[in-house]
Structure 1
């Protein structure tokens, strides 16, 4: 219904709701706005005002970005590239293998199926901090310390991703699988040609969540990476805080740049992301 077709009472209510949700949005976005403003502010103003409202009236400068992109923090683009490579490769590999596991657990009957699903749930409930030491020992034995694959390996088949795909695939019609078998499709052909297109919303939702998890991952890369050239963006930015000086202004600038890939990822997949969280594979 168009706004012009509403009566006076309905128009007043609509305007009130718009104002209310706009204020809520401003409150939610205030930390991001403060971060952006701080990234263009001199370090002296940050020390005087912090992120107080006075910061908005300080003099803007590009010096923070000049230092970030060269000079003291010249390795920034290397950290950025490492994070892009790890996140991009992990998204592709994780979605492929996790979707296969979730698809099999949902639509096939085989011995030990329930036991495997219980294991997935149990691993999901174990805090990562408990698994860090055995995982690190495994990386040492496999000689994957300080490598991209060493960062990605524990996250390739994440329990939460398997669980999500399994729950989504429960809503897919098994009749399509039977039709594919009648037409001579292999089991993998049924998955790739028939079922995977129906799973696109779930792929988009998990691409965003997996990308966000990988991009912001700090603890595991901090443990398994050793050289400065291999650091991911969160680990590299953390090195800017030292006992000899805290470069908060550079840290803010680097954090602003770090937001961009996640925003692009979400904008690209947002339509499928909402569909993946709210609907199943069968449309009535």
Structure 2
């Protein structure tokens, strides 16, 4: 009976595997299509884009490197583009570094220590994840005005330094580490700072890597909050700067798409290098103990 049950269940599992594979293959193609279409479009002149849109074909006669040559030519538009690129890099690097450190130490305190109202405090942190950013945008903007941080990198960076989702992820990851490590370190004479930095932090490298990539993607692609805070064109980030290339006549679509494709490069490189840490970090953070 057991043998018959196993044999009858095998075709069902195969059908499920085929259907699942087919579903995720179609989903992957849907996700990849806009990137591939944009990549092809970045090699076409603006007249072709206006006439044919994001056509998926490999007509070599209409493709060239003129758009990328224009970006690297050193003209006024090229200088503005790389200024925006530099601004995005600065904001992303500083934001990710500070966010990871602050959220790690918050999660460390919530995980490794026992104190009154700890669970209530963590519940409040989780509750903030349910509030849409658009609701918080106005009071946050008023605070930025009150602290005179309008048109500064600090005004862009500061509002995301203590992300609830990042704290939650770190807490879940640290919950899976044995607390005996802390007791052993205290017996050996380590203070609390050395325990958190020298012992626990190295064990949390997969969590740092996976959350670092996700935070970097969010900061690099952010447009709504930087658009509210940054007023001077010399401080625009790349998404805002590229948006200024649009005109009522659409005569900058070719440079816009080429700039967008080149703007993907930093995140793509980081992802290709550290993608295995995303799986390791997510898997370890999802299982407690």
Task: State the TM-score, normalized to the length of structure 1.
Answer: 0.87
Q: Structure 2 matches for 1:174-253, cutoff 5 A? A: 174-253=179-258
1:256 is the counterpart of 2:261: yes
User: Deviation per CA, 1:161-187, whole angstroms, max 9, x where unpaired?
Assistant: 111111111111100000111111111
1:144 is the counterpart of 2:149: yes
Contact 1:46 1:249 (8 Å CA) reproduced:
yes
Q: How many residues align?
A: 269
Contact 1:41 1:58 (8 Å CA) reproduced:
no
Which of 29, 43, 47 aligns to 1:44? It is 47
Unaligned runs of 5+ in 2: 1-13
Aligned position for 2:66: 63
1:116 is the counterpart of 2:121: yes
Unaligned runs of 5+ in 1: 1-12
- 1:134 CA displacement: 1.0
User: Deviation per CA, 1:31-52, whole angstroms, max 9, x where unpaired?
Assistant: 2111111001011111111112
Query: Which aligned segments of 4 or more residues in structure 1 are displaced greater than 6 angstroms?
Result: 19-23, 281-284
Counterpart CA distance in 2 for 1:225 and 1:164 is 30
Contact 1:145 1:224 (8 Å CA) reproduced:
yes
Further displaced range: 182-191 or 59-68: 59-68
Task: State the TM-score, normalized to the length of structure 2.
Answer: 0.86
Change (3 A) 1:136 1:283: closer
- 1:57 CA displacement: 5.1
Contact 1:198 1:281 (8 Å CA) reproduced:
no
Counterpart CA distance in 2 for 1:176 and 1:250 is 55
Change (3 A) 1:177 1:148: same
- 1:96 CA displacement: 0.4
Contact 1:172 1:280 (8 Å CA) reproduced:
no
Counterpart CA distance in 2 for 1:160 and 1:38 is 36
